[in-house]
Structure 1
Amino acid sequence: MTLHASNTKATGSSQAPSLEILPAERGQARRQFLHLPWSLYNRDPTWVPPLVLERKEHLSPRNPYFRHADVRIWVARRAGRPVGRISAQVDRLHLERYDDATGFFGLLEAQDDPEVFRALFATAEGWLREQGMRRVRGPFNFSINEECGLLVEGFDTPAVIMMGHAPPYYAKRVAEQGYDPVQDLLAYRIHTDFTAPPALGRLADRVAPRVKLRPMNRRNFQADLAIIRDIFEDAWSGNWGFIPFTDEEFTALGKNLKLLVPADFVRIAEVDGEPAAMMVVFPNLNEAIRDLNGRLFPLGWLKLLWRLKVRGLKTGRVPLMGVRKRFQNSRLGAVLALMMITSLQPAVRRRGMEEAEMSWILESNKGMRSIIESIGGWPYKRYRIYEKNLN
């Protein structure tokens, strides 16, 4: 991983200190980059402070994303005080798959100041042009398999694990830089005491002899993890912007899954003895860390452990769900999705989970949206991905 860039200055008005854009790879600039959200969101009751330790790890060379991507990060300052930040990424896996000369921006945070946004984007776009990119897309923090999209609806509730939060003014400021919406992602909320529609229930009864549903087998964890990955990559391979996980990335995901997710929060569906679909529910870590102010020490880790392992959490998220392509757009595919959802219902309710978020769902994915809405789910947040041609 390399994180560096040249120093850039933007001249402010005669009454305001000049704005400077600095690379944030080390020292004070790096610390300001990491801690900027605390000053921006200190009056936002719905913001969940991330764990500083986790954010440092996200930017460290240990993040497997950096094996296939070049990243630059910058912080904007006035009179030494941080007022904004941004990243720019060139993902070689994306370029190999799509050959579209597209780079990305992310980790965007800034005061409601047009000059700050203009300077941040000019810096990120300038670096991407130097790398030969002809288009920029974002936000991605850093990849499509992590936090992505800018929150544009649903500001009144906290974000769940691995989903972003933003003030309402961000959308306007991004559009002012010449960015157009290219894709909307929806987050659905559902109460766990839902009732399955009778028609789909009857279809499930018909196919039940062919379908076996089982939880993850922790004694055979690596084999089941490989099944989940294989189904995910097959199910999502035709989706907009899809990039497969690398071995290192999925290994890291597997470690989190093993640490945070009970075995009965995972479902693998087999059709005629062959793995055909999977679904994973993550406990909503954001619920557990919301009052820790980003710190695990000295006592934050004890609170987190107790909340996860003893008290349990009332909310969760479905970040991984997929049905193999050959079953998609068929009744059996819809029934498999419903059967996985309903088979997980007793497990999550037994552990006290009252609500779950299913995210993200492409707005154009009518089939999955219809299934979720049929059991009472409703879209309560909208995230937007933007794009701009670099002339």
Structure 2
Amino acid sequence: MIEIKKVESKKQLAAFVDFPHELYRGDKNYVPELHIAQRDILTPGKHPFHNHSSMQLFLAYKNGVLTGRIAAILNNNHNKFNNVSEGFFGFYDLYNDPEVSKKLLNEAEKWLVAYGATKMIGPVNPSTNETAGLLVEGFDSPAVAMMTYNKPYYLDLLTAEGFTKNIDLLAYDLPTNVVDKKSIKLKELLAQRLKDRNITVRNINLKNFDTEVKNILKVYNAAWQENTGFVPMTDDEFRYLAKDLKLILDKDFAFVAEYEGKAIGFALAIPDINQVLIKIKNGRLLPTGIFKLLFGKKKIDYVRVIALGVNKEYRRVGIEAFFYSEIIQRAMDKKIKGGEASWILENNEMMNNGLLKMNARVYKRYRILEKAI
């Protein structure tokens, strides 16, 4: 007997957050999310996503045993920005059971249809501005910071319920020992070209963090707006994300490009904190997890290029290439073994071609799926 229950209590929410720990027990590539971060993103009043949108969490029980979870998500900002009536699903985790999958997806679909949704898209947790995509290639290593991980059978379960590909998101691996050194050699030439155009590139100023965040948000919402699946971030959402990232930020990997003092582009690579989180049992910082986090940060030897964008009118003048050359040079200086550039839309020719020229290779592929409802 399969029973689907709405999450309506703190106890059920804790069960929802903790379920993956049991599901992935023994999987050496599973990285537990921090419990407090997952709890907050799912709780109205804690995360700014809930200020404009809503979600309903569901748990699946089979013969009284918790066997799966899902979130039905109504992103009002997405629908307004794109003039559509779409719904989303996320936090989709379960044992390999087609009946449980069917019932979870049906329950999420019913909830979305009641709000007028005509399409169901996912997984996103809870939007493309957070973690997104179903891992479909690259199960042989842990996900890096703020990237998803799932069982290989998830794709089969979703396909069986009528979901088809919307778009793929690519993750590139770029070890520092194989990177095309041409990008480094051209750095001075690129710097002069930018200077001739009154464009400067500098590190982010952590002492003026609030102002920096405000300016970078403008670039983010302008530079990414034509990307498939994009939805603008609100001031509150961006500040929330920036506050979290500041805890692990290395300013040597955070850059702002300016034209006559106005921000026109930015790039950010973050230390792969998952190298530490993978050792923190069940995502709990207390009693010992906090020490693993504090001391483990110093041993991280991999980064993730999480964002790199330039306003449309300033593209193709060398800013993107200069960003990458700076990140690569500093990674080498710090004895970092490499980095992941992710995620990159499969139809973003400029970014994909640029990475391939640097000898990066696609080593993980994530998929956004959709289904008419």
**Structure 1 residue 82 and structure 2 residue 66: aligned?**
yes
Distance 1:192 1:247 in 2: 35
Output the amino acid matched with 1:32. A
> For 1:32-111, what aligned pairs fall within 5 Å after superposition?
32-61=15-44, 62-111=46-95
Query: After alignment, is 255-264 or 202-211 more displaced?
Result: 202-211
Q: Which of 302, 308, 319 in structure 2 is aligned with 1:315? A: 302
**2:9 matched to which residue of 1?**
26
**1:144 matched to which residue of 2?**
128
Aligned residue for 2:367, secondary structure, equals: strand
**Structure 1 residue 278 and structure 2 residue 234: aligned?**
no
Output the amino acid matched with 1:197. K
Aligned residue for 1:120, secondary structure, equals: helix
Distance 1:144 1:358 in 2: 16
Deviations 1:56-82 (A, max 9, x none): 122122111111111001010012211
CA separation of 1:205 and 1:229: change in aligned 2, threshold 3 A: closer
Aligned residue for 2:20, secondary structure, equals: helix
Aligned residue for 1:43, secondary structure, equals: coil
**Structure 1 residue 134 and structure 2 residue 115: aligned?**
no
Distance 1:203 1:279 in 2: 19
Does the 8 Å contact 1:267/1:344 carry over to 2?
A: no
After TM superposition, give the deviation of residue 208 of structure 1 in Å. 4.2
CA separation of 1:262 and 1:205: change in aligned 2, threshold 3 A: closer
Aligned residue for 1:38, secondary structure, equals: helix
Query: After alignment, is 24-33 or 182-191 more displaced?
Result: 24-33
**2:226 matched to which residue of 1?**
238
Deviations 1:71-106 (A, max 9, x none): 001010012211111000111111211221101000
**1:207 matched to which residue of 2?**
193
Q: Which of 201, 209, 213 in structure 2 is aligned with 1:225? A: 213
Unmatched 5+ residue regions in structure 2?
none
After TM superposition, give the deviation of residue 206 of structure 1 in Å. 5.4
Unmatched 5+ residue regions in structure 1?
1-17
**2:328 matched to which residue of 1?**
345
**1:5 matched to which residue of 2?**
none
TM-score, reference length from structure 1: 0.89
Q: Which of 195, 199, 215 in structure 1 is aligned with 2:180? A: 195
Aligned residue for 1:260, secondary structure, equals: coil
Aligned residue for 1:373, secondary structure, equals: helix
CA separation of 1:202 and 1:223: change in aligned 2, threshold 3 A: closer
**Structure 1 residue 177 and structure 2 residue 166: aligned?**
no
Q: Which of 379, 385, 388 in structure 1 is aligned with 2:362? A: 379
Deviations 1:198-219 (A, max 9, x none): 6965862651433422101122
Distance 1:88 1:378 in 2: 34
Query: After alignment, is 349-358 or 90-99 more displaced?
Result: 349-358
Distance 1:262 1:32 in 2: 34
Output the amino acid matched with 2:151. P
After TM superposition, give the deviation of residue 27 of structure 1 in Å. 4.6
Distance 1:283 1:206 in 2: 29
Distance 1:105 1:26 in 2: 20
**Structure 1 residue 295 and structure 2 residue 280: aligned?**
no
After TM superposition, give the deviation of residue 344 of structure 1 in Å. 2.4
Aligned residue for 1:35, secondary structure, equals: helix
Aligned residue for 2:296, secondary structure, equals: helix
Does the 8 Å contact 1:192/1:353 carry over to 2?
A: yes
Deviations 1:290-337 (A, max 9, x none): 1111121112101211122xx241111111210111123x3x1xx211
**1:162 matched to which residue of 2?**
146
**Structure 1 residue 355 and structure 2 residue 338: aligned?**
yes
Distance 1:186 1:25 in 2: 36
**2:295 matched to which residue of 1?**
306
After TM superposition, give the deviation of residue 346 of structure 1 in Å. 3.6
Output the amino acid matched with 1:38. H
Distance 1:43 1:257 in 2: 29
After TM superposition, give the deviation of residue 128 of structure 1 in Å. 0.7
Does the 8 Å contact 2:304/2:342 carry over to 1?
A: yes
Distance 2:118 2:144 in 1: 33
Distance 1:282 1:87 in 2: 28
Output the amino acid matched with 2:364. K
Aligned residue for 1:37, secondary structure, equals: helix
Does the 8 Å contact 1:101/1:135 carry over to 2?
A: yes
Aligned residue for 2:149, secondary structure, equals: coil
Query: After alignment, is 102-111 or 59-68 more displaced?
Result: 59-68
Deviations 1:116-142 (A, max 9, x none): 110001100011111111111111100
Identity %: 34
Does the 8 Å contact 1:312/1:351 carry over to 2?
A: no
Deviations 1:19-61 (A, max 9, x none): 0000123154333212211221113211112222221122122
Distance 2:192 2:34 in 1: 47
